[in-house]
Amino acid sequence: FDHKKVLVIFVLGGPGAGKGTQSANLVKDYGFVHLSAGDLLRAEQSRPDSLYGALIQSHIREGTIVPMHVTLHLLEEAMRAALDAHAHPVGEAGGGAGGGGEEGKGWAGGRGWEEGRGRFLIDGFPRKMDQAVRFDKSVCKSGFVLFLSTTESVLLHRLTERSKTSGREDDNPLSISKRFRTFVETSMPVVEAYRRRGKVVELDASPEVGLVYEKIRIAVDAALA
């Protein structure tokens, strides 16, 4: 994708930091197209004829990173579907942003498209250095990174609460501790690499949702200006 036509903002942060919650807020106010790498992987996992169902399931349960070609393919496909829907709006059909659920909706009507540029929020990706390098090289040069930071005890509390209703296979104590380890060992180096390039906007994700979002809005307005 031509980065003059496509702006990509990554939303990163530990498991339970609020990536999905705050991305949904941003979609409402800015009309970005939101793609959650985790949601795309879970959708692919439950597709009956998927070649990767078992592979994805085992990585998600173990809190490890699914091989990059699988995730990159899903993201590229979803981005292409969103751009196609914009280029060829067909009635109200839309929603073609692929697996991610509701968020792709409305794209064809012009949302997510600012001054001739498609604007994507990609949440939970890249979480390993090889993915970051490959995405920048062969998919699209990323714009900036919103990094939601908080403590492990805050994350644990949120995930434990969510586990009562989420039905997510990785919301259990063993998977949660594995996800934390992968985040620290494998995903933080990605954040640090972007930080060295001056691409990271870091926000404290510990306060309540509305307060965190106020700060995010200020940061996004500044970054887009």
In the complex, the residues that contact Mg ion under the rule CB under 5 A are: 19-20
Q: Are 172 and 166 in contact (CB under 8 A)?
A: no
User: Rg of the chain's alpha carbons, rounded to an integer?
Assistant: 17
17 contacts which partner out of ligand UP5, Mg ion, none, CB within 5 to 8 A by kind?
ligand UP5
Omega of the bond leading into 67 within 30 degrees of 0 (cis): no
The encoded tokens of residue 157 equal 């509390």
Select the residue whose beta carbon is closest to ligand UP5 and give its number: 38
Least Å distance, CB 62 to ligand UP5, is 7
Pairs from 206-211 (Cβ < 8 Å, separation ≥ 24)? 206/150, 206/151, 206/154, 209/18, 209/21, 209/22, 209/25
37 contacts which partner out of ligand UP5, Mg ion, none, CB within 5 to 8 A by kind?
ligand UP5
Nearer to ligand UP5, 92 or 214 (CB): 214
DSSP string, 86-119: HHS--TTT---S-SSGGGGTTGGGTTTEETTEEE
- Look-up of token digits 């196609």: 84
Least Å distance, CB 112 to ligand UP5, is 20
34 contacts which partner out of ligand UP5, Mg ion, none, CB within 5 to 8 A by kind?
none
Q: Are 97 and 82 in contact (CB under 8 A)?
A: yes
Nearer to Mg ion, 20 or 89 (CB): 20
* Rounded CA separation 128/108 (Å): 32
Nearer to Mg ion, 15 or 94 (CB): 15
Per CB under 6 A, residues contacting ligand UP5 are 13, 15-21, 37-38, 41, 59-60, 63-66, 71, 124-125, 127, 158, 162, 170, 179, 205, 208-209, 212
119 contacts which partner out of Mg ion, ligand UP5, none, CB within 5 to 8 A by kind?
none
105 contacts which partner out of Mg ion, ligand UP5, none, CB within 5 to 8 A by kind?
none
86 contacts which partner out of Mg ion, ligand UP5, none, CB within 5 to 8 A by kind?
none
Nearer to Mg ion, 20 or 109 (CB): 20
- DSSP class of residue 125 equals -
Least Å distance, CB 121 to Mg ion, is 12
Nearer to ligand UP5, 141 or 186 (CB): 186
Least Å distance, CB 150 to Mg ion, is 14
Phi, psi of 174 (to 5 degrees): -70, -50
- DSSP class of residue 207 equals S
